[in-house]
């Protein structure tokens, strides 16, 4: 509640808080230069960490794709091995459904006079 400048009716500004506004320009420049130096010194570490992360992601992606391909091969082998069972079952079910539809033909609607 005490942060707003209620004396300035034409704009919603914040009160000036000592600290950043009270710093000298030389100290601001010195702080920015120090932060840049730290960033430059740490950039090789960040670069190596990013490369290691990308390498790990590539390995895990390749492993995941190979596991997915293996799972697909198992499913295809299972479908092929069980085809002597499920193909005749599907044929019988299709024939039953066709016969049932032929016998249950809907009656044409009665015309109103």
Residues 6+ apart with CB under 8 A from 4: 12, 13, 14, 15
- Let me know if residue 12 belongs to a domain: no
Reported as a pLDDT band with limits 50, 70 and 90, residue 9 is: low
Q: Rounded mean pLDDT of the chain? A: 81
Give the C-alpha separation, 32 to 23, whole Å: 13
Paired tokens of 42: 């740490």
Q: What is the pLDDT of residue 17?
A: 54
Nearest to 3 by CA among 21, 17, 23: 17
Query: 8 or 87: whose pLDDT is higher?
Result: 87
Give the C-alpha separation, 97 to 90, whole Å: 10
Q: What is the pLDDT of residue 12?
A: 56
Q: What is the pLDDT of residue 73?
A: 93
What digits encode the pLDDT tens for the residues 26-66?
Answer: 888 888 999 999 989 989 998 999 999 999 999 988 888 88
Paired tokens of 41: 């010194």
Paired tokens of 4: 């707003």
- The domain tally of the chain equals 1
- Let me know if residue 34 belongs to a domain: yes
pLDDT tops 90 at residue 77: yes
Q: What is the pLDDT of residue 7?
A: 59
Compute the chain's Rg from CA coordinates: 38
């Amino acid at each position: 509640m005490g942060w707003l400048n209620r004396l300035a009716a034409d704009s919603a500004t914040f009160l000036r808080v000592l600290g950043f506004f009270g710093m000298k320009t030389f100290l601001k420049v010195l702080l920015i230069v120090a932060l840049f130096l730290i960033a430059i010194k740490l950039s090789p570490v960040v670069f190596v960490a990013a490369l290691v992360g990308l390498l790990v992601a590539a390995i895990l992606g390749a492993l995941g794709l190979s596991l997915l391909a293996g799972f697909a091969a198992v499913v295809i082998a299972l479908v092929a091995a069980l085809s002597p069972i499920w193909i005749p079952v599907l044929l019988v079910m299709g024939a039953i459904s066709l016969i049932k539809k032929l016998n249950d033909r809907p009656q044409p609607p009665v015309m109103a006079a």
